[in-house]
Amino acid sequence: MDREPVPKKPRVGEEESNGLHSPVTLCHTAPSNELWYQESLKAPEAFWDQLAKERLEWIKPYDKVMDVDMNSGDIKWFINGVLNVTVNCLDRHARDNPDRVAVLWEKDEPKQHEPVTYKQLLDMTCQVANVLKSQGIRKGDRVVLYLPMIPLAIAIILACARIGAIHSIVFAGFSAEALSSRINDATAETVITADEGVRGGKTIPLKETVDTALKESPCVKRVLVATRTGAAVPMAAGRDHKLEELMKEESTECPPEPMDSEDPLFMLYTSGSTGKPKGILHTQAGYILYTGLTQQYVFDCRPGDVFACVADIGWITGHSYVIYGPLSNGVTTVLFESTPVYPDPGRYWEMTERLKVTQIYTSPTALRMLLKSTNEYVTKYDRSSLRILGCVGEPLNDKAWQWYYTVVGEGRCTVVDTWWQTETGGIMITPRPSANDSTPKPGYPMNPFFGIEPVLVDDKGEVITGNDVTGNLCIRKPWPSMARTIYGNHEKFLETYYRPYPGYYFTGDGAYRDKDGHYKITGRVDDVINVKGHRLGTAELESAMNRDGRVAETAVIGCPHDVYGQAILAFVILKDGVTDDEDSIITGLKAMVKTGVGSFAVPHKFLIVPGLPKTRSGKIMRRILRKIANNLYEELGDVSTLANPPVVNDIMQKWLKEA
Ligand code: ATP
Ligand code: MG
């Protein structure tokens, strides 16, 4: 006789579950995310063990959770485990919910989107994977991707992971030279691109750029070309193939390659804000576990959500939060092909209304650009579906935070200012809305995520204890998605991240821990300004000046000064339509700094400029400003990731005129 099932006892932490996964039972007292956090630091092996078992589908279980030495930089997670990340991102969801939308493609053409279901994405991925295999590509081979934001791009990325090839995505706005150097760095034999890209109503000649790049990349044996616009592009006989034509010949089934937890998954270059970009290598199990976990808990993601991370797939944010994180959780991810200002600055919010977006994840640079226009571009659309407003990439200054919170979110949504890096794989310091954490403070990424232990270290390597302190931001405990190496340059990896402060991962950023223990990023350690004996981070000064209603964006640097050690130089971009004379603006900015930071920090010189040098991912490259201010125009350093080269000349002219 069938017995009544035993009523399921609610498990600790059940309240935190969003139903995507079984919740984690880690502590035996009252459920609280603070306790969960404490537990994650007290017993990290048990914490990660339970999550890895509950959240991931393994082909063969691992023998040991971790083997990490924070002194030597030897890092291994989920030792001897075997899995395939695409099974976790596709097969298990296609099995349970084949018709659930995996990807909502928001096309560049205004008001146009197309859904792709989990079953369709799995089929497409397998077909591409079979093409790759037919082309002779094998596990461990490097494949460089130079692709527009189309669903097939996601299938191509996952196809690499399906067969164990290592993908290296190069943002499809980089020049032929930048592309070629990345191809050569990986000694890749295969490049996958598209005929053309489309962005902001303009076409981008992708195949043409690849052809130019390949003149300097003799290692490449084959180029697969996907179709976005259908434009006729030259095809080199024997070398180039139309991807869709090859796909037609292939089956929609492809067994997943069994991958060791520590086999490489992808390599990806950092943004190049502080120097030559570093080719960071990430591996399988730890990366997929951590990106899924953070996507769920940072964004309080629930079934039925439409998650819109609008980053390009060419950045780590695109890797972790357009593709791997949301797909491993089986949610719907938006693939945003356009720009925030096409056809007008209402694009995000019109899309939000049409797609019923629940979480949007963008960058400070996009927000600063959008708040230059009138609020009507936001308010005329229905944003009631939104719950979480995320941001990453640079310090989010007060004004942009307030605008995001009040204008976009109507004071109803949680702003999550997330701090992390290409090297960390996933979000590290962030408000945790699912955790009922304390209310986020403007400009503060707030709290470490589960398992993350930030420490502040002084220049001698001593840990700074207590609160209301500033120091070099390091991480003490290992976490699953930490970078394993710089591809082909392990020495540089150790020198950059593990040798500066032995026993810790060094982030290169400075941080302030306030009286309540909450974290705020003060800027890059490389950019710190030392004036009259004070060490000043760039974020605080810039944030103070950005409060002026006439200002859109600012950047500060230090340049040598006989008396002060360093003098502060401020570069200022005005909002559209501001016609006030420069003197009145400068007087206003001086007052802002005086009240916001202190009179010692008032910049010695202000330059009103039309733009700032930025990376392709929108980050201010202060090192270029420093070179200009030191009259070192010939020594700008690595400018391969500079988005807007002409602006350098504009600033230079202004500097020469006024210095
Ligand atoms: P490179 O390492 O080549 O100089 P990059 O550091 O800009 O380039 P990324 O990995 O894309 O390359 O960016 C990580 C950096 O971005 C962080 O180290 C930090 O300086 C900055 N950053 C990211 N998110 C935040 C945030 N929420 N607040 C402040 N800074 C942030
Ligand atoms: Mg960096």
Give dist(CA 319, CA 403) in Å, integer: 27
The residue whose C-alpha atom lies closest to atom 30 belonging to ligand 1 is 394
Q: Is pLDDT of 54 > 90?
A: yes
Which 8-state DSSP code applies to residue 324? I
Q: Is pLDDT of 22 > 50?
A: no
Percent of the chain surpassing pLDDT 70: 94
> Residue 431: how many CB atoms within 10 A of its CB?
24
Proximal ligand: closest to the CA of 317: 1
What is the tens place of the pLDDT at every residue in 256-307?
999 999 999 999 999 888 888 999 999 999 999 999 999 999 999 988 999 9
* Side-chain half-sphere CA neighbours of 221 within 13 A: 10
Mutate to test the pocket of ligand 1, among 361, 394, 486, 495 (most ligand atoms within 8 A of CB): 394
Cα-based angle 425, 162, 481 (whole degrees, multiple of 5): 15
Q: Name which of 314-323, 349-358, 502-511, 634-643 the model is least confident about.
A: 634-643
Give dist(CA 443, CA 460) in Å, integer: 28
The residue whose C-alpha atom lies closest to atom 5 belonging to ligand 1 is 271
Q: H/E/C letters for each residue in 503-554?
A: CCEEEEEEEEECCCCCEEEEEEHHHCEEECCEEECHHHHHHHHHCCCCEEEE
Single-letter amino acid, residue 47: F
What is the tens place of the pLDDT at every residue in 259-273?
999 999 999 999 888
Q: Which helix (H) or strand (E) holds 182?
A: helix 176-186
Which residues sit with Cβ closer than 5 angstroms to ligand 2, an ion? 270
- Residue 433's pLDDT is 67
Q: With contact defined as beta carbons under 8 Å apart, do 121 and 152 qualify?
A: no
- Which atom of ligand 1 is the closest one to the Cα of 278? 3
How confident is the model over 392-420, as a mean pLDDT? 95
Tokens of 426: 């996933």
Residue 524 CA to ligand 2 centre (angstroms): 9
How confident is the model over 153-168, as a mean pLDDT? 98
How confident is the model over 455-463, as a mean pLDDT? 95
Burial class (CB in 10 A: 0-12, 13-18, 19+), 590: middle
Q: How confident is the model at residue 8 (pLDDT cuts 50, 70, 90)?
A: very low
Burial class (CB in 10 A: 0-12, 13-18, 19+), 357: buried
Q: Is pLDDT of 127 > 70?
A: yes
Tokens of 386: 């939104």
Q: Is pLDDT of 7 > 80?
A: no
Pairwise pLDDT comparison (450 vs 432), residue with the higher score: 450
- Residue 532's pLDDT is 77
Which 8-state DSSP code applies to residue 319? I
- C-alpha pair distances (Å), 205 with each of 221, 237, 292, 393: 21, 20, 34, 27
Q: Which of 338, 403, 392 is nearest to 369 (CA)?
A: 403
Sequence-distant (6+) residues with CB within 8 A of 510 are 470, 471, 472, 473, 521, 522, 523, 524, 525, 528, 537
> Is residue 648 classed as helix, strand or coil in its secondary structure?
helix
Is the torsion defined by CA of 42, 45, 51, 53 positive or negative? negative
End-to-end CA distance of the chain: 91
What is the tens place of the pLDDT at every residue in 485-515?
999 999 999 999 999 999 999 999 999 999 9
Mutate to test the pocket of ligand 1, among 269, 273, 528 (most ligand atoms within 8 A of CB): 273
Give dist(CA 36, CA 44) in Å, integer: 11
How confident is the model over 59-88, as a mean pLDDT? 98
Give dist(CA 167, CA 163) in Å, integer: 11
Q: Is pLDDT of 30 > 90?
A: no
- C-alpha pair distances (Å), 612 with each of 198, 365, 423, 643: 25, 11, 25, 10
- C-alpha pair distances (Å), 46 with each of 22, 51, 75: 16, 9, 18
Give dist(CA 645, CA 205) in Å, integer: 19
Give dist(CA 653, CA 647) in Å, integer: 10
The residues with which 520 forms a beta bridge, in sequence order, are 512
Percent of the chain surpassing pLDDT 90: 82
Q: Is pLDDT of 331 > 50?
A: yes
Tokens of 44: 């990290």
Tokens of 351: 């899309």
What is the tens place of the pLDDT at every residue in 579-620?
999 999 999 999 999 988 888 899 999 999 999 999 998 999
What is the tens place of the pLDDT at every residue in 536-553?
889 989 999 999 999 999
Sequence-distant (6+) residues with CB within 8 A of 406 are none
Q: Which of 162, 125, 123 is nearest to 265 (CA)?
A: 162
Q: With contact defined as beta carbons under 8 Å apart, do 213 and 176 qualify?
A: yes
Q: 294-328: b or e for each residue (b if 16 or more CB lie within 10 Å)?
A: bbbbbbbbbeebbbbbbbbbbbbbbbbbbbbbbbb
pTM of the model: 0.92
- Residue 110's pLDDT is 98
> Is residue 413 classed as helix, strand or coil in its secondary structure?
coil
For ligand 1, which residues put their CB under 6 angstroms from it? Answer: 270-275, 277-278, 316, 392-395, 417-419, 421-422, 445, 507-509, 521, 524, 617, 619
Q: With contact defined as beta carbons under 8 Å apart, do 235 and 248 qualify?
A: no
Q: With contact defined as beta carbons under 8 Å apart, do 285 and 486 qualify?
A: no
How confident is the model over 560-574, as a mean pLDDT? 87
The residue whose C-alpha atom lies closest to atom 15 belonging to ligand 1 is 421
* Side-chain half-sphere CA neighbours of 59 within 13 A: 17
How confident is the model over 75-85, as a mean pLDDT? 98
Phi/psi for 207 (5° steps) reads -60, -40
What is the tens place of the pLDDT at every residue in 362-398?
999 999 999 989 999 999 999 999 999 999 999 999 9
- C-alpha pair distances (Å), 391 with each of 268, 368, 443, 514: 21, 12, 11, 21
The residue whose C-alpha atom lies closest to atom 13 belonging to ligand 1 is 421
Give dist(CA 278, CA 119) in Å, integer: 36
